[in-house]
Amino acid sequence: MGEENVPSPLWELDSTNPEKAERVRTSLREVLDPEIGINVIELGLVRDAAMNDSELNINMIMTTPFCPYAPALLEMTRSKAEEAAEAPTKIEIGMEMWDPSMMEDGAGAAWGLY
CATH number at residue 25: 3.30.300.130
pTM: 0.87
Query: What is the domain count for the chain?
Result: 1
In a domain, 18, yes or no: yes
Residues spanned by the domain of 38: 12-91
Crossing angle of helices 18-28 and 70-85, rounded to 10°: 140
Does 113 or 17 have the greater pLDDT score? 17
The pLDDT, as a whole number, for residue 71 is 94
Q: What percent of the chain has pLDDT over 90?
A: 71
In a domain, 23, yes or no: yes
The pLDDT, as a whole number, for residue 105 is 79
The pLDDT, as a whole number, for residue 65 is 84
In a domain, 45, yes or no: yes
In a domain, 111, yes or no: no
In a domain, 107, yes or no: no
- The CA distance from 9 to 20, in Å, is 15
Taking only the tens place, the pLDDT of each residue in 59-96 is 999 999 888 999 999 999 999 999 999 999 999 999 99
Residues 14, 21 contacting (CB under 8 angstroms)? yes
**What's the rounded mean pLDDT across residues 41-65?**
95
In a domain, 75, yes or no: yes
Count of CB atoms situated within 10 Å of the CB of 83: 13
